[in-house]
A and B are shown apart, each in its own frame.
Chain A
Amino acid sequence: MQLEKVLTAGIGALNLRDIDVYRAQGGYAQLERAIKEFEPSQLIDIVSKSGLRGRGGAGFPTGRKWQFLPNDGRTRYMVCNCDEAEPGTFKDHMLLEETPHQVIEGILMGTYAIGSNHAFMYIRGEFLRGYHIFRAALEQARAAGLIGKNLFGTDYSVELTIHRGAGAYICGEETALLNSLEGKRGEPRLKPPFPAINGLYGEPTVVNNVETLGYLPHILRRGAEWFASVGTPKSTGYKIVSVSGHVQKPGNYEIPLGMPIRTLIDDVAGGLRPGRKFMAIQPGGGSSACLFEEHLDLGYDYEALAGAGTMLGSGAAVVFDDTTDFVRAAHSLVRFFAHESCGQCTPCREGGHWLELTLERMLHGHGIESDVDMLVKVSHQMTGLNLCPLGDSIEPFLASVVGRFPDQFYAYVRPKQAPVAV
Chain B
Amino acid sequence: MIDKGDVGGDGGVGVDGGADFAAVLERVRAECLRLISQYPDSRSALLPILHEFQNELGWVSPEAMAACAEMLGLPMSIVESTASFYTLFFKRPVGKYMLQPCRGVACIVSGAESAMAHFRERLGVQHMQTTADGVFSYEEVECLAACDRPPCMQVNLEFVYDLTPEKIDAMVDAMRAGTYDVPPRPQTAKPGRDWEVASESGRKALGARGVSNPNAPGGIGDASGLRMLERLERDPEPVRVRPTRERLVVDGAAVESELTSR
Contact = CB atoms under 8 A, between A and B. Distances in A.
A224 B154 CA distance: 41
B56 interface: no
Nearest to A330: B105
A62 interface: no
Interface size class of A (residues with CB under 8 A): 35 or more
A118 B148 contact: no
Interface stretch (A88-96, A255-263, A297-305): A88-96
Contacts of A89: 143, 145, 147
Given A85-B143, A124-B145, A129 B159 contact: yes
A364 B214 contact: yes
B87 A167 contact: yes
Contacts of A90: 145-148
A329 B109 contact: yes
A420 B221 contact: yes
Interface of B (DSSP majority class)? loop
A394 to B, nearest CB: 12
Contacts of B82: 183-185
A183 B142 contact: no
A286 B39 CA distance: 33
Interface in A280-335: 282, 286, 316, 318, 320, 323-325, 328-329, 332-333, 335
B147 A250 contact: yes
B87 A166 contact: yes
A181 B106 contact: no
B103 interface: yes
Nearest to B43: A183
A246 B224 CA distance: 43
A168 B44 contact: no
Nearest to B230: A419
Contacts of B220: 360-361, 364, 366
A161 B36 CA distance: 11
A184 B220 CA distance: 36
Given A244-B106, A364-B220, A420-B215, A169 B226 contact: no
Interface stretch (B45-53, B173-181, B253-261): B45-53
A186 interface: yes
A366 B104 contact: no
B143 A420 contact: no
B204 to A, nearest CB: 11
A336 B142 contact: yes
A252 B145 CA distance: 11
Given A126-B157, A185-B85, A201-B40, A420 B214 contact: yes
19 contacts: A87-B106, A87-B143, A128-B158, A163-B44, A183-B46, A183-B47, A183-B82, A186-B85, A245-B106, A250-B147, A328-B108, A336-B105, A342-B85, A366-B214, A366-B220, A419-B227, A420-B214, A420-B222, A421-B223
Interface of B: 38-41, 43-48, 50-51, 72, 81-82, 85-89, 103-106, 108-110, 113, 141-150, 154, 157-159, 208-210, 214-215, 220-224, 226-227
Closest 7 CB pairs between A and B?
A183-B46, A166-B86, A167-B88, A244-B147, A420-B221, A183-B43, A167-B87
